[in-house]
Amino acid sequence: MIMRTSPMISVIVAAHDLQGQLESCLRSILNQSFRDLEVVAVLDQSPECPANVVDDYAQRDGRVSVVRLKGVVGIGRIRNAGAEHAAGDYLLFLDSDHIVGGTTLQAMADQLQATDEPDVLLFGHTRLH
């Protein structure tokens, strides 16, 4: 068993909120049965990045941190910035319109541990419209 001082999973969220779903995304992550995680919410200067939403979550939950970028930089640079600030052993990248089921991260953690902690874990998803 590995003793962890950092979270097992860092969930990096590109905090664009084009369809008003960022709050649902953050809530779905923070309400997971698996607790050994952090959320890195990354905002650039685009008008679709509601700082008030992520700031509120960061104040209420110590697992949430906010990274602010200068300028409108696009998804690639947003994800890279999130990875640079992440402390977890594994990274999960989500967009603000992604929702994760209540046991999703626990299932991922179980699979990571059962397969001798691989470098990469592939998993499926369900698309809802």
Segment 31-85, tens digit of pLDDT: 999 999 999 999 988 877 678 889 999 999 999 999 999 988 989 999 999 999 9
| Four-point Cα dihedral 63, 112, 79, 129, nearest 10 | -90
Task: Specify the pTM.
Answer: 0.91
pLDDT at residue 2 greater than cutoff 70: no
If one counts the domains in the chain, the total is 1
Structural domain contains residue 3? no
Structural domain contains residue 57? yes
pLDDT at residue 126 greater than cutoff 60: yes
- The C-alpha angle 127, 117, 31, rounded to 5 degrees, equals 45
For residue 48, the enclosing domain spans 9-114
Structural domain contains residue 123? no
State pLDDT tens for residues 41-53: 999 888 776 788 8
Structural domain contains residue 68? yes
Structural domain contains residue 39? yes
Structural domain contains residue 128? no
Structural domain contains residue 54? yes
